[in-house]
Amino acid sequence: DQQVKQNSPSLSVQEGRISILNCDYTNSMFDYFLWYKKYPAEGPTFLISISSIKDKNEDGRFTVFLNKSAKHLSLHIVPSQPGDSAVYFCAASAFSDPGGGADGLTFGKGTHLIIQP
């Protein structure tokens, strides 16, 4: 049973336009969400995160939106650039778990973003 779902295996966007990557989760204990970007033969690179007490976090061209009631988050990239072509992973954790300490991340399967010139 997948707790974090990225339903689009791939997405093609024209350079300069907005890229929107979506992610759904089922575990209501998740309260911290992250997006990672991955190039082939490299490890995931942290992009942006959001805590469940917020509904939006922005960093340059990247904005993450969180809709807790719908258990849905999205990553917006605007404007999209050729270097943004990569696999994007959504990840979640129960950061404030009463057990304390850090928590292993639960990842989606990723969305391959292709930016076309």
Residues lying near other proteins in the complex (CB under 8 A) are found at 4, 32, 34, 36, 41-46, 49, 89, 91, 93, 95, 101-110
Q: Is 2 helix (H, G, I), strand (E, B) or coil?
A: coil
Q: Find the shortest distance in angstroms from Cβ 14 to other proteins.
A: 26
Contact status, residue 91 vs residue 107, Cβ threshold 8 Å: yes
**Which is closer to other proteins, CB of 73 or CB of 89?**
89
Task: Show Cβ contacts of residue 29 under 8 Å, excluding neighbours closer than 6 positions.
Answer: 94, 97
Q: Find the shortest distance in angstroms from Cβ 32 to other proteins.
A: 6
H helix intervals, 1-117: none
Q: Find the shortest distance in angstroms from Cβ 90 to other proteins.
A: 8
